[in-house]
Amino acid sequence: MFEGQPQSELDALFKANPEFRQLYHHHQELDKKVLDAELGVLPIDDLKLSEMKREKLAAKDRLSRMFETLHH
């Protein structure tokens, strides 16, 4: 996420906005768990996997809105 954005801009957002930083790290954690579940490394049922995917998407949408608001 945020590929193509200068790392310095993201670092500035992390420092200036703790909510953005926390949500970004939460999204990264969910991304890893979803990948692990899909690879069979993390044993969870399909319902839990679907919930994690929805939560991850909601976090991504919120991060994108926050980025646009804070960046411009």
pLDDT at 17: 93
Question: 30-67 burial, b if ≥16 CB within 10 A, otherwise e?
Answer: bbebbeebeeeeeeeeeeeeeebbeebeebbeebeebb
pTM of the full structure: 0.87
pLDDT at 10: 85
What is the chain's pLDDT, residue by residue, as a tens digit (72 residues)?
788 888 888 888 899 999 999 999 999 999 999 999 999 999 999 999 999 999 999 999 999 999 988 876
